[in-house]
Structure formats: C-alpha cells, structure tokens
Structure 1
Amino acid sequence: MSYDRPAMPLPNNMRNARFDRPPVPPPYVASKPHNSAPALPPRPLPSATSTNNEDILCSLISRMPASIQADNIFQSAISTDQPLSVFSRVSHPVPLPANTTTNGKATETNKFYGNMMIGDQTNPAWTHPYSFFWSKDSYFGMAVSYINASQRVFGPNSPPEYFFGPGGIKSFVFGAVDFTSADQMSLGFTNLTHLQAHVQVKKNNNQFILIPLVQGMGFATAVYYNMIPQLFSAVGYKSVAGATSPRSGIQKYKIVLQNNVTWSLYVTVPSGQSLALALANNNQIVGNKSVNGCIFQLVPDTNSAIDAAAGCYPNSGTLSGSVSGSTGQYTIAYGLSGSSNGGKTLMYACPHHVKSFTSAMSSKRINSSVDSVTMGQMTGYLTDTFELQVNVPSNIGFDPYSAIPGKSSPNYSNDVLNAIKSAAQTEALGDVVNESNVDSMYFGGKILAKYAWILYCCQYVIKDSSLVQTLTSNLKNAFGRFIGNTQILPLRYDTTWGGIISSGQSTQDFGNSYYNDHHFHYGYHVIAAAILAKVDRDNGGNWLSQNKTWVDNLVRDYSNPSSSDSYFPVFRSFDWFAGHSWAKGLFPSGDGKDEESSSEDVNAAYAIKLWGNVTGNQNLESIGNLELGIMNGSLNSYFLYLDNNTVEPSQIIPNKVSGILFENKIDHTTYFGTELQYIQMIHAIPITPMSGFIRSPVFVQQEWVEKLAAIVNNVEDGWRGILMLNRALSDPLSSYSFFVGSTFSTNYLDNGQSKTWSLTYSGAFS
C-alpha cells in the first residue's frame, strides 16, 4: 500500500532532509559568465597508435537495438481492443505536462521519470547512479546529483530506522548562457516508454538541451542544440584540468569538486563546429559560442577504460525475453546515439543484474564502480545490451509449495484433511457477496482472493463438491458486482494517462485514482479470477469465456506487455531495470518512486502467471514467471535482508526488511503504522504457494528469531495469523499446530486470510 504518510518527528537539522529536498549546500553563489575568462587547459590527443581510422562508430545519428528474438514473450498484446464500455470515460485531474509528445500512446505513470511530469516538475528522476532535476533557482537548467556511500544520512538508534541520500545537491547543472531567467525555460517530453524518456530543457523549439534519461546510463549526458553551453556546479569547482582526449573532436577534462569527488567530463563537438570552454569562476564553466548537437558527458570516475565509450550514449531501451523450463532469459537492448572508439556506451549495472548476467557480459565489464543510494554499488560495463538469465518458478502452480528440502510437494495426513474440512464447512459458507461490498478495490480484492483460495481447498484438497458448488455460486455473484461495475466506487477509464482508475478521491483507496498500487489491488482480483475460472471449468462451467475480457482489462492496466496496445502504458508497475514494481503513481515525491509491500508485488506477478495459465496465454504465463524469477534476486537484495546481505549498508541489515523502499531512501516503517508486525509482515502478505520461492526458509527463520518470536504472543489481531502462517515457510509444524490448536481464535485472522487456507498451506508440509 502506498499513500502520503505524515512526516514523523525529527531533529530540526534532519527534518527537511528526510522527507523533502533540503537547501543546496554551499557554495550557492550564481555568477554571470565572463567572456574574458581564460580558456580551460588544452586536451592533448592520445599517442599516434590511435587515430580516427581506428574509431568504431556507434552511429552517427542513432543505432536501434538488436532485432528481437523470434520467441520473444513480449511481442504480443493481450488485446488491442478499447477498454470495456462499462468503464465510463473521464479526463484525469492531473493533466499531461505541456510539450509532451505521446504519439497516440498511453503515458507511463509509475516510472522513474514520473516526478518530472507532475507537480512543479522540480522533483528528481533517478536513473542510478544519478538523479536529475529541473533547476529553476540560481542556476538555470537540468541539475545532476551523484551521492556516494559516504554521504548517506542515517537515522538514530541501532539499527537505524532509515537512511537516505541528501537531496538537492547540484553536483552539476547543464545550463546555457541563453537562459537568463527561469521563465525562459520549459520542459518538453518525447520518446516516453517504460525504459526511457527524452527530456528537453527548452527556450523554444529550436533552442534546447536534450537530456536522454535511461536507467543505468553511465554518463550524465546533455546534448546542446543551438545554445551556448554553461556548466554550473553548486558544489563548486576545486580544480579543472585538461586530460588526454580519446580522439579528435572530443575534449576531455578532469574535474575535482569541492566535496572531493573527481569527475571526467567529455565534450564531443560535431564535425565542422568548434567550442572553447572557459572557467568563469569557481561555480561555472562557459562556452564561447552556440553549438548544435554538441554532447556533454559526465561520470564520477577517471578510469581510462571509460574513454572507449565517450561520445556515445543510450537513447532507448527495448525489452525481449523467453522462458524455457525453469530458465528465464531477458535482454534490455539499448539504442545508441553518437559515436565512440569502442562502438558501445558505458552502462552501470545493479547488484541483482551482475548476479544474473550471462557469461557473454563478463568481457564487457570494466574496473569502474559507483554508488547508488538504495541499490548498492553499481558496476561498469561497455555495452549496448544487458543479457540476463534467472531461475523461474515454472514448477509452482496453484498447489502449496515449500522451499524446505524434501518438502516441495504437499502431503496431507488424514488428520490434516479432517481439520481443513472442519474449517471449510464454516468458512466456505461465508458471505463473500456482502463482505466484498466495500469502497476499496484493495480490500474487495483481498476478500475475493481469500474465498478463492478456500474454493481451491474445497475442490482440490478436501474434494467436497457441495461446498464447491455453493462457494462457486457465491463467488460468481460477488465478482458480478465488480464486473458490472456497480461497486461503491465504480472504476473508470482515464483518457488522459490511459488506465482504469477508481472513481474515488485521491485520498481514497490508497490513491488508486492517481495510479497508486494498481498491481496490488488488481492482482488480488486477477488471482481470484484465475482460481474461480479454473475450478468452474474443471466442473464444466463457462465463467471464463464470459468474463475473460474484464479480467484482461485489469491485467492490461498494470501489466500490458506490448506498445501495440495503445490504451494502456507498457508495464505500468513493473520496472525491468530495478527488478520490481513501483507503487507510487501521480504524486510528486522528493525521494522518488517507492514500494512498500514486496510480497503483494509478488502476488501481482503470480496472478499474471496463473491467469496466463488458465487462459492458455503462454506468453503471459511466461511474463509472470520471468518477473518472479527476477524478483527472487532483486527483493532478496533490496527488500529482504539475510544476515550476510552485502548489498545494503550493514547498519540496516538487522532490520531484516526495508520497510518502504524509495529510490533515494529506505525507511523501516509503513504508511499505515509503526508496529513491528506491520513493518515485517507487509513484506509477507499474502502467504501463497509463491511465498516460499521468494522468502527462503533461512531468511524466514532468521527474521523469526531476530524480530518476530519476541512479539508474536503480544499480537492479538489479524497480524498474528499472518505471523504464524509466514512461519510455515521455515517451520510448518509449528505453524500448523498454532492454527489447529485449542487456543486459536478467529480474531487472529486478517480479513484476507482464512483458517481453511492456513491449515491447507501449513498442513501440507507439517
């Protein structure tokens, strides 16, 4: 769940830093360029062993990604039809920003660059390792910030509740002499997809600075069109020195800032043009004339291997992938602009990438490492592709699964079956129709999923046809309200951004109407529909064929795989670079996008997998499997902390979970409260067959011993049932004993959890 949480009390000197961008550190003084400033030192060319004849051009204009493999699971849309007419058409109260080119496609709402498109457009976009933000005060242009590990700010206590990267630091600002006031600037957006955005800092349609934003881009890159370059640093220049140029046409400088971070600056001047740079003062470098197509590139490293990538930058990303058995492969192919000696550009990979790279990537690695704020240390590669391979849970379906050695398949004793039957005889007759009649797609979906898993138990575990018949009928009626769109807050189709949203206010249902949490909310509905469709079909019914389009509409909203579906953005929620989803939609955030419930992210991907299986959409099933395989690596790097985790700062590992993960902050709390059971178990709910694939027995046992065992007996509400069912992932016998014990109370059940399923899951392996 995700919505704006009130600020927690903080020391005055930290208050702004944690939740908002603080003022920029000194020096701040803006200075006008001095045309008479001395030119920067000369940049000698390399020795005669390297000449222009040896250059391997990436492309003079742009090289598009390699062709997509024939079995690419992303090649087909779920549908290209209009959304169902039951969803009334509305315009969103948050408009698209001016100067946005959509080419008739829906616009992303939960992506890394989203901050730049909403509010006052000055909040940062994180590409990792950099963040970029529109600078409208003192220095005019696009600011670049890089935070190294030593700059992280940690909260009090041990372990600290949070850490973050200080905001608003303008390591550099890509500016221009042509901008003399903030009102001369505007932002423009083109080439918007789930993997890139082209941002223009515009004076007019002919004069602008192009900032291509691609996650993992090795250079902070700006391309000047008909403008006089001006490179500011609010941190301040400590020294600027010429360095050996990679080749003719590229100027190279070594820059040390006042914070002692050393950068390399490459300036690629187009053929037939010239540019001289001068250090005007300790805060700005200026050019002597207007240039058209001149490329400025910055990187906080001086490794000479990077020279081979200078002049070349990624302009786009294209995703392809396949699944075969238990192996999933995916590639992000980067389109390149410019030219470089090595024919490739510089990209930085996150820890979960490096662990999953194919052997072909090893020769592309260079000895360059930089820090991200929340995703660990990143590693440099000279490449135009990321090629990765992961293990996927193709063998996990609807049946309970355990990662405990020797317990992967369910095995029910007669006593366990009798206990499940006893619970089901009460719970299967529950009033799912009225219980799901709530003003929340999230809570309504949880109720539907709870009863769907009870239905699974009745059909396939205890095999009680009478209970199956009754519950199937009731679930169909409950779904009928949502399919007919007659729930308390009906859904609507937003024609502005392109998506299915609640008719509630922005503060209702966790911000669903502003695109918060769609994968959480709709994932519950989709997984419930998959179970109902399977059971109904196995009993000769046709509910699937009658209602498939409605469920497909929800899937398309949060997980449309193809740009040929123009009604929904491609992968609104899942971030194929970060390796997990982002929950925050159209709300500005000083710390970037965030996600709280990693386990409900898993549930959303599991829903895609099961719905693909039931509907015979093999590509969709494979996409779900591939997302789950990727999350097994990313979540266990950034959200779930084994004792030996070396990705995140060692100080926070004893927290065992992230709490809320932002792009610029990890905060061991939740949006709905600070009780320890909330913080830990929001990363566990719901417990499904997929839980054991992500949450290893070793992690669950460590978390139990270090965090949960001491509090469980003091928890008297539904979180206790979640705590104890989670324990089944490492100690199923203790878990089962709790649910079958004489002291068990239904007060211990969350509204999305049943005793029937809890006994079925824990009893399968006890």
Structure 2
Amino acid sequence: MLIIIIILLLLSSLLLSIDPATTTTTTFPDGHSTVLPDPSTFFSPNLISSPLPTNTFFTNLIIENGTQHEYIHPYTIKSSHSTLSLSYPSLFSNSSFTNQIFTPDINISISQNPKPNRNHTVSSFSDLSLTLDFKPFLRFFLVRGSPYLTCQVLQNVPLIILTGHNIINFVPNGLKTKYKIFLSNNQVWILYSSTPIGLTRKASTIVSETFRGVIRLALLPNPNSGMEQVLDKFSSCYPVSGHALFRESFSIEYRWKSRGLGDLLMLANPLHLKLVKDSSVKILDEFKYQSVDGELVGVVGSSWKLKTDPVKVTWHSIKGVEKDSYPEIVKALVEDVKGLDSSNMSTNSSYFYGKLVARTARLALIAEEVEYVDVIPKVRQYLKDTIEPWLDGTFVGNGFLYDKTWGGIITRQGSNDRMGDFGFGIFNDHHFHIGYFLYGIAVLAKIDPAWGEKYRPQAYSLMLDFMTLGKGSDLKYTRLRMFDLWKLHSWAAGLNEFEDGRNQESTSEAVNAYYAAALMGLAYDDPRLVALGSLLTSLEIRAAQTWWHVKEGSTLYGAEFTRTNRVVGILWQNKRESVLWFAPAEQKEFRLGIQLLPILPVSEVLFSDHEYAKQLVEWALPSLKREGVGEGWKGFVYALEGVYDKENALKKIRKLTGHDDGNSLSNMLWWIFSR
C-alpha cells in the first residue's frame, strides 16, 4: 500500500484537491459564540455568506477598529480615518529580538479632514492579496510582495499625500506621470500615474489636481543603483490579485492577475528563492528590499512554480528500529500501556486532551514496529473511549461545535471565553489541537477500519476545518485556515489584534498537524489527502528550517541576535522573539522542546541537519543545570542529542524520572533506537 501511495504522490497529474462532496457538510452541532467579532463591520456584504479567513495576513484590518498595521512585504500599511499609511519599515535588532519599526512615511487620502468613523471595506481577497476600499473614491490593491503600492482612484477627486518627514525635493518628469519625492529621513519615493497628474508641494503635504486613474508608489532603496530603471520599466503592469494553484505533487504555482502593459515585477522571500523551479521567470539578483524575513529579491513573471522536497509519510520509523533493542522497548511499552485508564483523564482542554490521545496512539504504532501486538487491544479501547465522546458530542465539559458566522469549528469552552482552550473559540491554534486528535483518529482507523468508517464524517470535518482547499459559499470551512501561502508556513494566532501581526511558536506541532492529516489519508486510502498533507508538511518543515532554526554564522538576522539564539521563540510577521508565551528566553530547553514535540518519524526530517541539531543542543544543555528543570523538557534536549550522539543520549534518557504529557519512555526509546 505504501509503495502505491508514494507512486501516486509522484504523478504530476495528481490534482491536490479534496472531494468537494466532503467539504459541504459539518457533523458537529451549531454553536453560538459570545466572543467572536462581527465580520460585517469590514467585509463587503457579498463576502459574508462564504466562510471567512480567520488567521490571515490582513487580520488586523478586520477586527477591533481595523486600525492596527499589517505587513504586506516590503511595506507595512495602516488604515485609519479614510487614510492609508505606508511605511518601509526600519529594522532593529539586539540579542533578545529583531523587529520592524512602523513609521508612517506616506499617507494617502482624499481629504485633510476625513470623517473619523469611516471604515475601510474588504471588497475581495485571495491567497496572496487583498482589495481594500475607501468608498466611494479609493481602492487599494494590496498584493503581497509587490514593490509598488497600487491605488485606483475611482472618481475625479484631488488626492492628499502627506508625509511625517520634511520633503527635501520634489521632481516630476516631463509628462507628469512620474515624480521623485526626496524625504528628510533619506528615503526616496517614486510616484507613477496612469495619466498625467498635477501635483503641488506644500510643506510636508502633496496635493493633486482632480484625478481619476491609477497611481503607484515605490520606495527606491538604493538611489545610486540601477533599481530606479527597473522600477520605471515595470511600473505600468500592476497586480490586482494573486492565487496559489495545486496542480502537481509537492508543488505550488503562484499566478497573479494583472492589468496594464508589460511584464509583472514581484518580490520573492528567501524560501521562495530556494523553491522556484520555473525557467519562465527571471530573477533580478541585484533588485532587493530589506525585510525581517531576509532580503526580498525581484522576480519578473506573472506565474511562478515552487517545488519542495518530497517527504515520506510513514507510520513507523524511516530507517527502522534495531532488533536488539526490542526487549527494552517492549518492557517500557508494557508499563506505559498498563497505566492507561480513560476514566482518569486529567483534563478537558482540547489541547492537552489531544496530546494524551496522540501519546497513546504512538504506543500502538511502536508496538507494531517492535512486533509486540499484545498491548494493541488495550490501546485501541483507550483510543475509542477517549476520542468518541468528542466526535459524537457526549464529552462532558467541552466538545466541538460549528460556528456559522465565520465558518469553522469552535469548542464549548471557547464559545464564551476568549482564552478558553488557548483561544480555540477565536480560531487560535486550530492546527495544534486538531492535529493531535487527527493523529489519534488516523491510528485508530488504521488498527480498526470498521471504527474508522463509522466516524469518517467527523474525522473529515475536523481535518477540513484547517485543510479545505476549495472556496465558495457552498463550503463550510475557509480555505487553508492556518497556512500562509506566501510565507509557506502556518500562523497560530486567530482573530486577535497584535501590533506585530500573526505569530507562531511551535513549528513542530504545525508539522504534526499536516503529517497527521496525511496519515489519516493513508488510513482511509485517500491519496489526495496524503498528497496535500505531505506537501504542507514539507513546506512547514522548510519554513521552520529557514526562519526558526538559527544556525551559527547565519546572516538572515542581526549578528547579535544570531550569536545569542539558536532557535526563534515566537515568530511574528514583524518580529522575531527569543521568549515564549510561557517561558523567558533563558529557559532554552523550553524553546528547543516546543520546536521538537511531539517526537514522530517526521521529526527526523525536521531535524535532518545534524550539525545544526548539535549546535542547538549544545546551546540548550547549560540551561538544564538550573534547579527545578522539568524532566519532560530535559527529555526533548536528550532526544535531539540522540541525532548525533546516540549512546550519551540513551544514558541520559534511561535516568529520566518523567516525560512530557504527550511523550513516553516507549517513544523516547523508539526514537533513540531508530537513529
């Protein structure tokens, strides 16, 4: 079966789409939330009938007052009082964090005295773009990775362009379709217009004559380079939307819709540049903008094909377990299974409960691999007893509900408490929580196919909550709820307003979510689900290795931050932090552990760079000398040490007196003996 699935994954004609028939229903009861915001405040009425994005790059623009800034690469934008503010953010870095600083360099509006309560409206959105309207006069095409900000002036009105800096010089071309604006902070901006526009400078304000058409603004990062000629050349072609297409295995195609003449110029982030496999695009190596994500490089082409490394989705270890180790693993298995008692579940939290379910599912797979199936019946019964109440709605104290307003699953605890289940009710951490449940469901469906078929609708509803590919009002869930198709990794934060935008802490739990979905595809003989889960798993891994894993000598971040940190704690759209939500920076074992748990066969792929694993462990080991360090967190450090020093790691693991609630001695021994 595995060989057949792998062959199917490699077929370039395999469309990565879930059967639409499974996406139009939900099996969980409708819930009423008292904590979710009203989407009609900012979304156009024609969008309200469809499932809406709850964890996207423009979330700050659709919650609270909609006035918190967002990063669209390479610019940060902020909407307030009928004015759009544009910033080319400066970078600040020290040993604790690296962040981008928002300064409103350019402000665009049609009036110097805008109505204070006038909101912007999201009139359309796509995978890579957002259309923001200031009705009835202005429309902004906010396309990620565009070196230009594009504004369509819908009616004949005078524009107001205000800057917080002094205007040092102001130079039009002969046709008045291009203006260079020199600011006192040493920035040079270029304004392009689709037709001639008369502009007048008054102190720090530029006022236009009555104008209708398109204007584009671009920062010129290096006035003494050839970048101005590049901006001039491609200024007439502007993108209005961008989409990600899933046509081949382990591949994504970007395709932009554009207007105007000429070729399309966009910017690629460092991960894009690693993955671009398309001879039809031209990379402009010297055309660069700075970013907290690393240099953004110019790419010419209206479509790109990105190809990532294949990831084998396997139930068991990739290289196999040493047979000599079977007796020790079996001994641990017997003890771990002996302790299973579903009546003593210590939590009703969807996150911690899911971890316990997945921990137990690992025991069944380890038992298969070491050929000790005697424990599987008890594991199977435990999984049934713990998973079924969440799927059939009989779990006391919590459970899954369906929210019609935004289109997604919430929990009972999260329906009336923003902090309940770590914010699950406002669509925070969905892939983390559900990923653990999916792992348990996948394993149970594997060892008990009849059970799997009985609960297949509920299993798919959970998976589709964050892995729906389709779009439209007939669907129940929004498209790829947690996954950012431009950054190519997930965000954990839901409908929360944050100054630094979306964030994610645990990349390994994100990997687990898509990996578990792929395993579910194996259990249900669904090659399309295997293909999609495997693709997202691979991309999440590549993103973690690019932005979270900080290798010695890396130049991606500031020198002081790189010297002090071997792994990012919380990664934000605008910031890299050394702290965690639950631990300070000096507790390094927490940072290592939260980027490794849960330990799975795919963890070997996530930490395939053994030299980096050694750097990370050596950086974290001194933290274990503190008084009161938890045994579970020590275990993760030792597990990663086993990647390059198996014998010493094994000695330390044997001395542990406890394990993380999602881990076990059986799993630790399985990991070490499969190195």
Fold in common (TM above 0.5): yes
- The 5 Å alignment of 1:426-437 reads 426-434=335-343, 436=345
| Cα distance in 2, alignment partners of residues 244 and 438 from structure 1 | 72
Aligned counterpart in structure 1 of residue 134 of structure 2, from 184, 190, 201: 201
Aligned-partner residue type, residue 170 of structure 1: P
Number of the residue aligned with 1:494: 403
The DSSP-based 3-state class of the residue aligned with 1:240 is strand
- 1:584 matched to 2:493? The reply is yes
Query: Structure 1 residue 437: deviation in Å?
Result: 5.6
Aligned-partner residue type, residue 337 of structure 2: A
Aligned-partner residue type, residue 613 of structure 2: V
Query: Structure 1 residue 133: deviation in Å?
Result: 0.7
The DSSP-based 3-state class of the residue aligned with 1:388 is strand
Query: Structure 1 residue 103: deviation in Å?
Result: 5.9
Aligned-partner residue type, residue 547 of structure 1: Y
| Cα distance in 2, alignment partners of residues 244 and 620 from structure 1 | 57
- 1:262 matched to 2:205? The reply is no
- The 5 Å alignment of 1:27-66 reads none
- 1:117 matched to 2:30? The reply is no
The DSSP-based 3-state class of the residue aligned with 1:192 is strand
Aligned counterpart in structure 1 of residue 235 of structure 2, from 278, 298, 310: 310
**Relative to 1, partners in 2 of residues 1:669 and 1:604: Cα closer, same or farther, differing over 3 Å?**
same
The DSSP-based 3-state class of the residue aligned with 1:428 is helix
- 1:163 matched to 2:98? The reply is yes
Number of the residue aligned with 2:3: none
Deviates more, 1:485-494 or 1:601-610: 485-494
| Cα distance in 2, alignment partners of residues 649 and 78 from structure 1 | 49
Q: Is the 8 A contact 1:295 1:311 kept in 2?
A: no
- 1:515 matched to 2:427? The reply is yes
**Relative to 1, partners in 2 of residues 1:462 and 1:296: Cα closer, same or farther, differing over 3 Å?**
closer
Query: Structure 1 residue 135: deviation in Å?
Result: 3.1
Query: Structure 1 residue 690: deviation in Å?
Result: 1.0
Deviates more, 1:583-592 or 1:382-391: 382-391
Query: Structure 1 residue 323: deviation in Å?
Result: 4.7
Aligned-partner residue type, residue 724 of structure 1: Y
- 1:297 matched to 2:239? The reply is no
Aligned counterpart in structure 2 of residue 222 of structure 1, from 151, 160, 176: 151
Number of the residue aligned with 2:288: 369
Number of the residue aligned with 2:109: 175
- The 5 Å alignment of 1:12-23 reads none
| Cα distance in 1, alignment partners of residues 539 and 373 from structure 2 | 38
- 1:536 matched to 2:448? The reply is yes
Number of the residue aligned with 1:706: 619
Number of the residue aligned with 1:152: 91
The DSSP-based 3-state class of the residue aligned with 1:165 is strand
CA RMSD between the two structures = 2.2
Query: Structure 1 residue 85: deviation in Å?
Result: 4.2
Aligned counterpart in structure 2 of residue 321 of structure 1, from 227, 230, 246: 246
Aligned-partner residue type, residue 719 of structure 1: W
Q: Is the 8 A contact 1:78 1:556 kept in 2?
A: no
Aligned counterpart in structure 1 of residue 599 of structure 2, from 683, 687, 697: 687
* Deviation digits for residues 66-104 of structure 1 (CA, Å, limit 9, x no counterpart): xxx964314754723321144545575311142523163
Aligned-partner residue type, residue 142 of structure 1: L
- 1:213 matched to 2:142? The reply is yes
Q: Is the 8 A contact 1:436 1:443 kept in 2?
A: no
Number of the residue aligned with 1:79: 22
- 1:358 matched to 2:250? The reply is no
Aligned-partner residue type, residue 618 of structure 2: V
Query: Structure 1 residue 288: deviation in Å?
Result: 1.1
Aligned counterpart in structure 2 of residue 141 of structure 1, from 67, 83, 92: 83
- 1:385 matched to 2:297? The reply is no
Query: Structure 1 residue 232: deviation in Å?
Result: 1.3
**Relative to 1, partners in 2 of residues 1:436 and 1:383: Cα closer, same or farther, differing over 3 Å?**
farther
Aligned-partner residue type, residue 252 of structure 2: Y
* Deviation digits for residues 334-375 of structure 1 (CA, Å, limit 9, x no counterpart): 1113x13x2x22211101111111141552536310011x20
What is the aligned-residue identity percentage? 22
The DSSP-based 3-state class of the residue aligned with 1:657 is coil
Aligned-partner residue type, residue 545 of structure 1: E
Q: Is the 8 A contact 1:87 1:485 kept in 2?
A: no
| Cα distance in 2, alignment partners of residues 118 and 437 from structure 1 | 35
* Deviation digits for residues 621-656 of structure 1 (CA, Å, limit 9, x no counterpart): 112222222233321221111213222222222301
| Cα distance in 2, alignment partners of residues 183 and 71 from structure 1 | 52
Number of the residue aligned with 2:7: none
Query: Structure 1 residue 491: deviation in Å?
Result: 1.9
* Deviation digits for residues 710-744 of structure 1 (CA, Å, limit 9, x no counterpart): 526853432112222222333333333333x3x33
Aligned counterpart in structure 2 of residue 750 of structure 1, from 660, 666, 675: 660
| Cα distance in 2, alignment partners of residues 85 and 671 from structure 1 | 31
The structure whose residues are more often helix, as a share, is 2
Query: Structure 1 residue 146: deviation in Å?
Result: 0.8
Query: Structure 1 residue 218: deviation in Å?
Result: 2.1
* Deviation digits for residues 265-289 of structure 1 (CA, Å, limit 9, x no counterpart): 21113xxxx53111122x2111111
Q: Is the 8 A contact 1:432 1:451 kept in 2?
A: no
The DSSP-based 3-state class of the residue aligned with 1:705 is helix
Number of the residue aligned with 1:397: 314
Q: Is the 8 A contact 1:456 1:535 kept in 2?
A: no
Aligned-partner residue type, residue 562 of structure 2: I
Number of the residue aligned with 2:166: 236
The DSSP-based 3-state class of the residue aligned with 1:688 is coil
Deviates more, 1:677-686 or 1:543-552: 677-686
Query: Structure 1 residue 430: deviation in Å?
Result: 2.6
Q: Is the 8 A contact 1:303 1:367 kept in 2?
A: no
Query: Structure 1 residue 543: deviation in Å?
Result: 1.2
Aligned counterpart in structure 2 of residue 286 of structure 1, from 207, 230, 240: 207
- 1:464 matched to 2:406? The reply is no
**Relative to 1, partners in 2 of residues 1:97 and 1:234: Cα closer, same or farther, differing over 3 Å?**
farther
The DSSP-based 3-state class of the residue aligned with 1:398 is coil
Number of the residue aligned with 1:556: 464
The DSSP-based 3-state class of the residue aligned with 1:718 is helix
Aligned counterpart in structure 1 of residue 256 of structure 2, from 313, 334, 341: 334
The number of residues matched between the two structures is 646
Number of the residue aligned with 2:352: 443
The DSSP-based 3-state class of the residue aligned with 2:256 is strand
**Relative to 1, partners in 2 of residues 1:316 and 1:242: Cα closer, same or farther, differing over 3 Å?**
same
TM-score calculated relative to the size of structure 1: 0.81
**Relative to 1, partners in 2 of residues 1:201 and 1:297: Cα closer, same or farther, differing over 3 Å?**
same
| Cα distance in 2, alignment partners of residues 300 and 503 from structure 1 | 51
* Deviation digits for residues 113-171 of structure 1 (CA, Å, limit 9, x no counterpart): 010000111111211111111133xxx51011112xxx32234xxxx11121223x111
Number of the residue aligned with 2:75: 130
**Relative to 1, partners in 2 of residues 1:172 and 1:295: Cα closer, same or farther, differing over 3 Å?**
same
Number of the residue aligned with 1:98: 41
**Relative to 1, partners in 2 of residues 1:265 and 1:705: Cα closer, same or farther, differing over 3 Å?**
same
Aligned counterpart in structure 1 of residue 645 of structure 2, from 703, 726, 731: 731
**Relative to 1, partners in 2 of residues 1:720 and 1:364: Cα closer, same or farther, differing over 3 Å?**
closer
**Relative to 1, partners in 2 of residues 1:244 and 1:165: Cα closer, same or farther, differing over 3 Å?**
farther
* Deviation digits for residues 219-255 of structure 1 (CA, Å, limit 9, x no counterpart): 111111113211111133222212477xxxx711222
| Cα distance in 1, alignment partners of residues 526 and 48 from structure 2 | 28
Aligned counterpart in structure 2 of residue 252 of structure 1, from 175, 178, 182: 178
* Deviation digits for residues 697-717 of structure 1 (CA, Å, limit 9, x no counterpart): 121111112332552685343
| Cα distance in 2, alignment partners of residues 699 and 304 from structure 1 | 41
Number of the residue aligned with 1:5: none
